[in-house]
Structure 1
Amino acid sequence: MTLALDSAAQDLLFREAHTAHAFADEPVTDEQLRAVYDLVKYGPTAFNQSPLRITLVRSPEARERLVRQLSEGNRAKTAAAPLTAILSVDLDFHERLPELLPHAPGLKDRFFSELPVREAAGGFNAAIQIGYFIVGIRAAGLAAGPMTGFDAEGIDKEFFGDGRQKVLAVVNIGRPCEESYRPRSPRLAYEDVVTTV
């Protein structure tokens, strides 16, 4: 065996996990999401910048505001999901660097004083965190339905009016049910992806 995870964990996190399109009628608790975050917060980001922000959409009013910003194909499944998270990048993530990296004073001013630099670095590193977040959802025995079909400007205006955050993805979360998954599409083989130089 070349992997440290046993076969059951590999199945849970990867082989049997799919993007979910429907969920069981069972709530997702704050305790479950806290456990997920407390696990995935250890994923790597450059300079430990941790720019991902998670907005949990729980109230019917907020759900309605979000659904209006989604593409037609994402509206019904989001309206019915037990929980939806808006995953965004905090463009002012650099303000937290002194407490996250006390051994590197001045880092935020040296590297992140300009907004375009923060937007590029933050977006890339938040995307890494999104991958970990989805795997964390699976580790909790839940399913994730990540989406990018939405009006980003509309969501930013509706939920992040101060301009400090920008949406990157919307993820429906819940306990998988029989109708959760579509047949798995093919994946590229190792030989198609990996080159040794």
Structure 2
Amino acid sequence: MANKFFGATVSLWLLVTLVHVSHGELVEKSLLQAVATNNQRLGRAAQCVADLFEDAEVQTKCNTVVEGGIGFLRGYKGKTLTDEGYINLANLVIMTAVTNMQGVHPKCASAGDSYTVSNTPSSGANLSKTGGVFVRIGDVCDCLIKKGDNDLLAKVPAFYAKIIEGLASDTGADLVDVLYKHESTLANDLASLSGDCK
């Protein structure tokens, strides 16, 4: 069911956007800002869910969210999109994941806007750490946008192309670990664009 929702949402947007921007053209800053904001929101929602990970039902629902997102991206393995297409694909998958992650538990319904990590059980440590990486990605993207250097911003879609392919190709069994590995690489790649944005 999660993959059907991902599919319907993303397919509509990609049909509209894939033909508009070719490689090398700057993606609109508003799209990049949406990716930054949604990464921050997903990170906070994931951290909230991680704090409730002693509950087996929370773990099951969380795993379904992660499987849905990565499962959908696997349909894009080996496919080439435009720069705008990569950003839109990433943004829409992240937005859907935010909604689904907030729906894992009522306590996390508004966690995307703000959340303070509290007493994370050991079973939720990896998810909490991964949530922290999503927040960092959002913070670094936000910093790069505020710098306003179009040459730097033009490099961002290539990093998203790399992570989409990485997530789609990774056959690791623990999908939270898979997310952590590839999202950490993305965070470091983005941070490498400017010494001011870490």
TM-score under structure 2 length normalisation: 0.25
Structure number having the greater helix percentage:
2
Question: Per residue, is there more strand in 1 or in 2?
Answer: 1
TM-score (norm 1): 0.25
